[in-house]
Structure 1
């Protein structure tokens, strides 16, 4: 099996020639003189030729060293050029970023801010994927995802942006006909509109300020895999539902929906920005993460008529 060239030793060799001494090369490279000497001895042993004639006052190239120098300089120059090119690309945001977001949150809060990002970073393009299903970032090749959850331990890197309040809500017309529940146990007598991607869709959990927890099994005429799609049925007075604040804020402000059992809340969740683990991220990914963190850490205000 062929071995790779000793690129490090070749680069050290070039620096010794340029600095005209082992000591000066070591100082320039910020390593010990012994490290430089070992690299040159290793290269000479590999090549089977002496590269320098050494005296107490002078360092001169041998014939073999002179022949090697031009090729070694080309190699170092090409390496430096390649590094500089990649570092320049990394420093200037450029290229495609794949972003995943929950559907309704993506439509309501993410999509409206993306034009500002694209104006700020014209060299970056975005692939926005919206779905309430939890996707495999690594397996599906996404750079970033926004998730609303109580995140379990995982290998993903997560940044918590803000809490997301969830409320039990219903329309005034529903409450006039069916009454107002004041305790989670009362929901057994109510039509419950369900969201399929709750952590436990078959069970609704509520907690009060005293730490008491109550679980109920909801039943009703509709369940959907997108929470916003429940709004028409809610506003039509067909039932009650647990909804996140960003979906119902306008309905609450307009009086089309009301919060029920305010002393009882579903378990807390938060908006997180998650990314696969790994080394330094491309500048385009870091730029989008910082932008989203700045713009989404505070909820938007309700729309005003």
Structure 2
């Protein structure tokens, strides 16, 4: 006889407290339930149930087996549900966390195409510049830029962006162009104010040495587009990713402040909670993003 069916019959008898109610629950005859349980006991060489004229209860061994059997039956049910869900069309609410700069400039313009392709999915995109806890805060996935801190999450790389110091030609004409990292202390520096540590720029010198430059003072803004606008208007030097400044540089509105420095590269990732399988709606969106960003970055945006 099938082992799972024997387990199910036994577990149902324990749950229902007898063979009659178990048979009704399983939709089979009482004698069939009894045969499944007897076959299980014979195969295991142990009595799992105490049978009296009034009631049926598990033996000590039967109770221990019942606990394990429930796990097996639950796993089997989840496996069946997994196959069904992976074959079903992606649907449901998809909650996404993404940094404001990237979300506004590069996700918002393409969401319409995604929703047209997957009409059964609804999207709730939350724009913020803080690190969110995906599971505890109820997010299905997030877009993260730079080094991934949480190694327990699953991640798929979408593309890359460079990060450079930029300013307007008018700024360089008025204040000159820094030739060394140390000279940045003499310039007007613009920085993010949304997170701790953003008042420090981490740079790599031509020698490969890692350097840190404090940027306190001048102008601080909690929005990358505003920093770019400030740089374009000549207020100072900003340290920004190429997905923000690429078009402005192509239009000649800004220039690289120190082109001789090694290019800083940052990965752009889709991250999502760990698990044995990926929800169809999450998998669909990540595949969509991979296709959309296949020819984007690290400089060409």
TM-score relative to the length of structure 2? 0.72
Equivalent-residue separation in structure 2 for 1:221 and 1:138 (angstroms): 38
Is residue 2:81 matched to residue 1:91?
no
Q: 1:152 to 1:83 in 2, by over 3 A?
A: closer
1:38 corresponds, among 31, 37, 40, to 40
TM-score by length of 1: 0.71
Q: Deviations over 1:66-125 (max 9, x none)?
A: xxxxxxxxxxxxxx9998778545532111110111111111111122112111111111
Q: Aligned residue pairs: how many? A: 255
Q: Deviation at 1:231? A: 2.1
Whether the 8 Å CA contact 1:184–1:215 is kept in 2: the answer is no
**Residues 188 and 219 in structure 1, CA contact (< 8 A), matched pair in contact too:** no
- Residue 51 of structure 2: aligned partner: 48
Question: Residues of 2 paired with 1:161 and 1:111: CA distance?
Answer: 16
Note the 1:1-305 alignment, pairs <5 A.
6-7=7-8, 9=10, 37-38=39-40, 45-46=48-49, 48=51, 88-92=84-88, 93-197=90-194, 200-265=197-262, 267-299=264-296
Per-residue deviation, residues 208-258 of structure 1 (Å, max 9, x unmatched): 454122222224421111111112211111100101101111110110000
Q: Which residue does 2:63 correspond to in 1?
A: none
Q: In 1, are the aligned partners of 2:192 and 2:199 still within 8 Å (CA)? A: no
Q: RMSD of the TM alignment (CA)?
A: 3.8
Q: 1:82 to 1:146 in 2, by over 3 A?
A: closer
CA distance in 1, matches of 2:239, 2:91: 41
- List gaps (5 residues or longer) in structure 1: 18-34, 50-79
Question: Is the CA contact (8 Å cut-off) linking 2:41 and 2:48 kept in structure 1?
Answer: no
Q: Return closer, same or farther for 1:85/1:215 CA change in 2, 3 Å cut-off.
A: closer
Residues 86, 156 of structure 1: alpha-carbon distance in 2 compared, 3 angstrom cutoff: closer
Structure 1 outlier segments of 4+, above 6 Å:
40-44, 80-86, 300-303
Instruction: Give, in whole Å, the separation in 1 of the partners of 2:171 and 2:79.
Output: 66
- What's the secondary structure of 2:282's corresponding residue? helix
Q: Which structure has the larger Rg over C-alpha atoms?
A: 1
Q: Note closer, same or farther for the CA distance 1:160–1:39 as it changes in structure 2 (3 Å cut).
A: farther
Shift of 1:7: 1.7
Structure 2 gaps, min length 5: 1-5, 13-21, 29-36, 53-75
Task: Report the CA distance between 1:278 and its aligned residue.
Answer: 2.6
Hey, what's the Cα distance between the residues in 2 that align with 1:171 and 1:36? 84
- Cα offsets for 1:274-299 (capped at 9, x unmatched): 11223423211221122223323442
Q: Structure 2 CA distance, aligned partners of 1:81 and 1:127?
A: 30
Question: Once the two structures are superposed, what CA deviation does each residue of 1:12-35 show, in whole Å capped at 9, x if it has no partner?
Answer: x99xx9xxxxxxxxxxxxxxxxx9
